[in-house]
Amino acid sequence: MKKFILGVALLVTLAISFTGCRGEEIRVFNWGNYMDESIFAEFRAQTGIRVRYSNFGSNEEMHTRVTGGGGAFDLIFPSDYMIERMIREELLLPINFDNIPNIRYIDERFFYLPFDPENRYSVPYKWGTLGILYNAVMVREIAGDIVVDSWDILWDERFAGNIFMYDSMRDSFTPPLKRLGYSLNTTDIDELTAARDMLIQQRPLVRAFLGDLVKDSMIGNEAALALVFSGCARFSMGHNSDLNYVVPREGSNIWFDSMVIPRGARNQAGAEAFINFLSSPEIALRNTLYTGFTTTNWATLEMLPDEIRNDPAFWPSDEVIGISEAFIHLGEFTAVWDRAWVEVLATR
Amino acid sequence: MKRIFVYPYILWMSVFIVAPLLIVLWFSVTATAPDGTVFTFYHFTRFFAPAFEGQPFFQRIYIAVMTRSIRLAVVSTIVCFVLGYPLAYALAKFYSHRSFLLFLFMVPLWMNFLLRTYAWLTILEQNGVLNAVLSFLGLPTVDLLFTDTAVVIGMVYNFLPFMVLPIYTVLRDMDNSIIEAAQDLGANRVQVFLRVVFPMSMSGVISGLTMVFMPAVTTFVISNLLGGGQFILIGNLIERQFIHVGDWHFGSAMAIILIVIILFMMGLIKLIDRQPKEPDGATVERGTLY
């Protein structure tokens, strides 16, 4: 017994001493495929700080990990409504902007947005829209000279089995709510059930509710229409020239992903150094070209070739921005939305 | 002195099995109220309730999902048994190439479960491998991906080894002289199989059924990938509550309900294994995996 206890004690001591001598590091928690990971080596060469990188698949998953004790992080990349929720739940630390001189390269239109009205907790990283990615050749084969500019096409019975929806509650509810002329942030049970019924009515036409997989499936001509984020659309369009992206005229969702530092971060200065690094025009350019997602960096935008800047999947027009609505946190009403969403998924 | 070696396992089991179960149980019967934690069975009634707090929602949607999960798991288990028993039999009887055949059977298991399931996406999709082969042969193409069938295929493919291996082990270790005795006493091959070999392999069959049914009824990855997110199963519901909604209490209640149902199904399976053995009708229970 004594030997056993001694052995355990020895192992614990070893484990502790190994964690103690690794040098400075930051723990970064980001969406999958949302950063060119080769820049970590450069960051380490410049600052000596090692990046420990892990990924999440949705804002809600990230929130569960951060609050459920699944791991502590120094820098996270949530979206607008989740930042609002985390500020309200006092999960974030105010950012010291003195440590981020490159903030001057970030376009001012992304500051003081409603989810962070005092602009204290977040630094904009990427932004974009939600829209329809369509295969122009397949659409023409199925429905002739139809113009893809409305959510109505996702309820067009000619496209039965040719529609991919997105496996995400708030994004999949965007088309029916906008079609009905309601807010994307509705907390009115009648509006929500009307949208739910519209999604249930659409079920026979939907081939699948996909996540990231939709990018590859659209490249492989698996369906004619898909509900996707603008950046995903750009990625797929880069691999299949038949693909096009449109934000329907009824309006859509405009979203922002920003960098935040959670309470409990062990290396705030390191995280701020990394924000500064990511906000430099050259690094932002590399991330933009790698991910296909739209940059918030005006200096980077000027470095991009015209074909990218003029692509509506990359840079939405002011008109599109005007009719788009950002998500806000639904609070307690989230459970009602979830029930409605489960009913959509469980009804056949 | 030998008891020392038991302590690590007791410690392991209490930390990683008993404690988590108790935590799940605790979450399922509590709720966070403004004035602290309160005991409630609300999460259970919510699962079985026809409507959501009097709002215009559909009937008993969670029960419908549970029923579908059990149906798919039962179908997968039966298919695994029908495919797995002959395979196990063949493996046990091929004396000459047994280890090589077993090796071939095990090689795919060296690959990650997710990768193997992803591979089925490529095989089953509209412009996939299966349809390429079918159209090359001049046959009509099939549209299997994102259907119930695809989910069952994924489950059978992933869980078949759990059916084959326990049955194979029992058949391999079966005393050949018993079979010879049955033949000496005039039983033909069918009789030998039905009255001697199969009854004696029941313990393996029970293990196999249990080991396939349990992961099949709780899976959420296979239904997500091959069902295209539209064949939501009870595993998906529980995952949603923990990952996306953040309602751990409701998720735990669903997990507890699922555990009860699994225990019930395992009890049913075990009933098959109870047969009168002694002349006085006393039942003898054979050992299973558990």
pLDDT per residue over B103-118, tens digit each?
888 888 888 999 999 9
Domains in chain B (CATH in brackets) are 67-289 (1.10.3720.10)
Per the CB < 8 A criterion, the answer to whether A148 and A132 are in contact is yes
A132-148 average pLDDT score:
95
B267-281 average pLDDT score:
63
A234 shares its domain with A134: yes
Plot region of A71 (φ>0 → left; ψ -120 to 50 → alpha; else → beta) = left
Asked if A338 and B245 come within 8 Å (Cβ–Cβ), the reply is yes
Query: Is residue A146 classed exposed, middle or buried when 0-12, 13-18 and 19+ CB atoms within 10 A define those classes?
Result: middle
Which range among A181-185, A321-325, B275-279 shows the weakest confidence by mean pLDDT? B275-279
B9-20 average pLDDT score:
93
pLDDT value for A272: 97
> Is residue A2 included in any domain, yes or no?
no
A268-280 average pLDDT score:
96
Q: What share of chain A is helix, strand, coil (3-state, %, to 5)?
A: 50, 20, 30
Amino acid, res. A14: L
> Is residue A9 included in any domain, yes or no?
no
> Is residue A50 included in any domain, yes or no?
yes
Is this complex's ipTM strictly greater than 0.85?
no
pLDDT value for B47: 85
Q: How confident is the model at residue A335 (pLDDT cuts 50, 70, 90)?
A: confident
Which among B55, B58, B127 has CB closest to A221? B127
A101 shares its domain with A148: no
A53 shares its domain with A166: no
A135 shares its domain with A182: yes
Domain encompassing residue A80: 23-125+256-315
A86 shares its domain with A177: no
A33 shares its domain with A113: yes
Give how many domains chain A has, as a whole number.
2
A249 shares its domain with A301: no
A287 shares its domain with A331: no
Torsion over CA of A217, A222, A228 and A233, rounded to 10 degrees?
Answer: 70
Residue of chain B whose alpha carbon sits nearest to that of A220: B127
Cα separation, B152 vs B155, in Å, equals 5
Cα separation, A149 vs A132, in Å, equals 9
Per the CB < 8 A criterion, the answer to whether B222 and B154 are in contact is yes
CATH code for the domain in which residue A195 is found? 3.40.190.10
A34 shares its domain with A85: yes
Residue B140 has pLDDT above 50, yes or no: yes
> Is residue A308 included in any domain, yes or no?
yes
> Is residue A74 included in any domain, yes or no?
yes
Per the CB < 8 A criterion, the answer to whether A238 and A292 are in contact is yes
Per the CB < 8 A criterion, the answer to whether A27 and A73 are in contact is yes
Per the CB < 8 A criterion, the answer to whether A60 and B241 are in contact is no
Find residues 318-347 of chain A whose CB sits inside 8 Å of chain B.
334-336, 338-340, 342-343, 345-347
B-chain CB neighbours of A61 within 8 Å are 243-244
B-chain CB neighbours of A220 within 8 Å are 125, 127
Average model confidence (pLDDT) for chain A?
Answer: 90
A90 shares its domain with A39: yes
Name the pTM for this structure: 0.82
In our burial notation (b when 16+ CB lie closer than 10 A, e otherwise), range B108-120 reads: eeeeeeeeebeeb
B81-107 average pLDDT score:
87
